[in-house]
């Protein structure tokens, strides 16, 4: 239904050479640039803020998929929208701290795709009250906070559960996605694949992105045709 999209996470890039890193993955054929924003509160780690997103926007030609792992998205959403985010996602675990529906509507009204993410241990039902205003669900397949963690296959049933709840938007999976795990993720119904280590750590990034795309497309196709265990 939605196209396969490969979204390298810049968390795994060489920050001392960001412009060259962005040009490298765009040349290699990525679809989106995934930007991991961490505030030291919602997650223990700290990364970067709107100033760096704005600088990335000046180098990038692909859309910016900004993933806010922050405790107060109400305070900072506009700064990340002004900085040039094209997709803006925050976490359902903070939804009780403000009016999440209003924030999703606001992101959409500013011409951006509105996303909601959930940690591996958060039940998918928590998304239900918000889905009507969501363009993208970002399913975490590792605990948010650090790159290079092992993929948790236990989150895969969340994708079908979202479809069963009537969600028709894009579904992204984030954490531990690579040549060994992308097929099962795509077979579950994911269409956006965030990959940090697997893309930036590859010797030939174009070959890696091509390979990831091919495996994901094959598994998605098998799934659409009703094939069991697509991706083989
Ligand atoms: C984790 C981030 C991910 C992560 C992906 O908190 O949201 O985007 O950096 O990195 P890999 O692909 O290395 O797991
Ligand atoms: Zn992320």
Q: Where are the domains of the chain?
A: 5-225
CA distance 136 to 87: 8
CA-proximal residue: ligand 1, atom 4 (nearest): 147
- The hierarchical CATH code for the domain 5-225 is 3.20.20.70
What residue has token string 């996605």? 177
Tens-digit pLDDT profile for residues 165-195: 999 999 999 999 999 999 999 999 999 999 9
For the record, the structure tokens of 164 come out as 């069963």
pLDDT-derived band at 134 (thresholds 50, 70, 90) equals very high
Residue closest to 143 by CA, chosen among 169, 122, 115, 170: 122
In the predicted model, is pLDDT for residue 97 greater than 90? yes
175 lines ligand 1 (CB under 6 A): yes
Tally Cβ neighbours within 10 Å of residue 20.
11
pTM confidence score: 0.97
d(CA 57, CA 52): 9
Give catalytic residues, as residue numbers.
36, 174
Cβ atoms of residues 174 and 117 within 8 Å: yes
Residue 43 CA: which ligand is closest? 1
């Amino acid at each position: 239904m939605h196209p396969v999209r490969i979204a390298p996470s810049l968390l795994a890039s060489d920050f001392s050479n960001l412009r060259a890193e962005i040009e490298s993955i765009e040349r290699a054929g990525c679809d989106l640039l995934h930007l991991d924003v961490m505030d030291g509160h919602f997650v223990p780690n700290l990364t970067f803020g709107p100033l760096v997103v704005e600088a990335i926007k000046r180098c990038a030609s692909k859309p910016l998929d900004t993933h806010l792992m922050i405790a107060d998205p109400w305070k900072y959403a506009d700064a990340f929208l002004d900085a040039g985010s094209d997709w803006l996602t925050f976490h359902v675990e903070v939804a009780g701290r403000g009016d999440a529906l209003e924030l999703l509507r606001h992101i959409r009204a500013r011409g951006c795709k509105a996303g909601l993410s959930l940690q591996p241990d958060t039940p998918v039902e928590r998304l239900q009250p918000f889905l009507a205003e969501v363009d993208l669900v970002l399913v975490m397949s590792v605990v948010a906070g650090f790159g290079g963690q092992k993929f948790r296959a236990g989150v895969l049933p969340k994708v079908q559960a979202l479809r069963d709840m009537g969600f028709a938007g894009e579904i992204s999976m984030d954490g531990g996605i690579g040549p060994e795990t992308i097929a099962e993720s795509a077979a579950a119904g994911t269409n956006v694949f965030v990959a940090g280590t697997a893309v930036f750590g590859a010797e030939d990034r174009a070959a890696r992105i091509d390979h990831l795309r091919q495996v994901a497309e094959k598994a998605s196709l098998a799934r659409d045709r009703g094939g069991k265990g697509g991706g083989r």
